[in-house]
Structure 1
Amino acid sequence: MEFTMKEVGFQTTLPYGELHVAGDEAYGFRPYQLLAASIAVCSGGVLRKVLEKKRLHVEDMTIRADVKRNEAKANRIEKVHLHFVIQGNGLREEQIAKSLEVARKNCPMVQSVEGSIEVTESFELVTDRKVECG
């Protein structure tokens, strides 16, 4: 990837479109947002593949990424908590918990930040009848 400077921030053109990155979100995505999004979406994508391989049907999935930063140390990201809301029929809490463990071990972004950013996960399982939390 090649980034070119613009009045505020930088931009690059990728096959899907232009990506604008700046410290001010009025001019593009902030770098910490992209890092947190990479961790969340990579983890969610790997989880989806794990569930598909187990032949578990997920109707919908939402991921909330809560980011903790340390202002005293260059405002670095120290923790990302991912909360998955997974909807589907016939899903069990223990299946999802085990699948999350597998996804964590196989997510390139989570593995890339291991040892420098704490990544934790939790989930809610939404079925026709009830919500279970793990």
Structure 2
Amino acid sequence: MKSRIKWQDGIHFTGETESGHAVQIDGAPDIGGKNLGPRPMELILLGLGGCSSIDVILILQKSRQEITDCVVEIDATRATEDPKVFTDIHLHFIVTGKNLNAQQVERAINLSAEKYCSASIMLKNTVNITHDFEIVEG
């Protein structure tokens, strides 16, 4: 897998992926950014949430659960000193569907965290990652 980061100006960059997509990356205004895109550490959280969500949806679909929506709210804490790495990340899954089985939802989240989500498994050795869920009928 390859990616490319191209400097635009100031501390604004364009990230290009091997799959042909681009994202603007920028820093906070207090360090010279223009707020033209997400911060690099925000992208890490989005990658973790996206990876986990894909797993959960695929596992629930294979389990014949009638899922209609999946939202993951991510709350992260960073160290106060450089390097300001993530110390804790919590993923709260809000899974919507018809007659969803709570055990199946919990199983899907655990399988993602422990076996399938590359981002989660890569980060878990340095970050305390927790998760919980709620089920919404609909």
- Asked if TM exceeds 0.5, the reply is yes
Deviates more, 1:91-100 or 1:27-36: 91-100
Stretches of structure 2 that go unaligned for 5 or more consecutive residues are 29-33
Superposition pairs of residues 42-121 of structure 1, within 5 angstroms: 42-104=51-113, 105-121=115-131
Instruction: Quote the offset at 1:88 in angstroms.
Output: 0.9
Give the count of matched residue pairs: 128
Q: How far 1:16 sits from its partner (Å)?
A: 5.1
The equivalent of 1:10 in structure 2 is: 13
Kindly indicate whether residue 39 of structure 2 is the aligned counterpart of residue 30 of structure 1.
yes
Structure 1: stretches of 5+ with no match in the other structure: 129-134
Q: CA RMSD of the aligned region, Å?
A: 1.6
Q: Aligned in 2, Cα 1:76/1:92: closer, same or farther, shift over 3 Å?
A: same
CA deviation after TM superposition for structure 1 residue 23, in Å: 2.1
Aligned residue for 2:58, secondary structure, equals helix
- Kindly state the Cα deviation for residue 89 of structure 1 after the two structures are TM-superposed: 1.2
| TM-score w.r.t. length of structure 2 | 0.84
Cα drift, residue 3 of structure 1: 1.2
Cα offset for 1:53?
A: 1.0
SS of the aligned residue for 2:81 comes to helix
CA distance in 1, matches of 2:136, 2:127: 29
